[in-house]
Amino acid sequence: MLKAEGEKWIQQLRIKWISLYWLQATLLNLAISMLLTVSAVRFFAFSTWILLPLVLLVGAVQLWLKPIWKISTLAISRYLDAKYPVLEESTTLFLRPQTEMSLLEHLQLEKIGQHLPIANSLNPILKKVGLSLVLLLGSIGFSFLIHQLPSSLRGDSLSTKTSNAAVVKEQFPAQLESFKVTITPPAYTKNNQRTQKQLLLRVEANAKVDWRFKTNSSLKSFKIIFNDKEIDQLKPLAADSTEWGFSKTINQAGFYQLVLDGQKSDLYQVEVIPDLPVQIKDDPT
């Protein structure tokens, strides 16, 4: 192989090496970010949008630890010298100006040139790409398993937090004698229906919430105001207007307020647990 051909091959090898490094880093980034996202969404009720900042953060750490763009043709030549004894640590000769080379160096260049190109020179980085792909597939499988967990396991965190929230003392309107809140999660979550004796809500996205109120006197009107703009009129369930009911599908966080005969209650928080993506596809092309 001539000097110009050898130098060109080393430059092309550098481009391929960097491209594969970028691919390997991207696959590894997605694998790590997906695991962190699944944990944050499932156990800490974060939004799935946290995936984007996690990808950026993990990517920044990767580039700080290994600045891929700094891989030079000289570094590639030194790698080849260290990896392949047949090159006799002389690959850097292809990068030297021809006018600065001695006769012996020209002869050495001709000697090692017959061994180029090396067919398996990309094998080490290809193995890293394959390992990163396996890790990404494992992360996708782990995400799917977490999503398919039975409610008896997956709902423990939700039940615990709901129980802990019950110790917070809420202020109720004086006319309110008793109430019950029933939460029915969407079927695809496989979470069980539950009831609570508090007005603060922590529910899955698109869960149906059913309120049942009993008052200690007849009311002319009973309303619920959501987020200070959406007003819903409750319907009496008893002839004496002391029992009232209302149902609503919750898909937005915020707060709500009861209005009994024009008297407004405190604000009660509504916290929505976002859905975990059912399927995440990755196409390296």
pLDDT of residue 285: 40
DSSP string, 74-130: HHHHHHHHHH-GGGTT-GGGGGS-GGG--HHHHHHHHHHHTTPSPTTTTHHHHHHHH
* pLDDT, tens digit, 9 for 90 and up, residues 86-142: 777 777 777 777 777 778 777 777 787 777 878 788 888 899 999 999 999 998 888
Residue 100 in tokens = 């600065």
Bigger pLDDT: 32 vs 78: 32
Q: What is the pTM of this model?
A: 0.49
Band (49; pLDDT cuts 50, 70, 90): confident
Sheet holding 235-236, edge to edge: 194-196, 176-184, 207-215, 243-250, 235-236
| Residue boundaries of the structural domains of the chain | 3-148, 154-273
* Range of lowest pLDDT (49-58, 146-155, 273-282): 146-155
The CATH architecture of the domain made up of 154-273 is: Sandwich (2.60)
| Three-point CA angle 93, 96, 99, nearest 5° | 115
pLDDT of residue 163: 43
* pLDDT, tens digit, 9 for 90 and up, residues 165-200: 444 568 888 899 999 999 999 988 888 899 998 999
Bigger pLDDT: 280 vs 144: 144
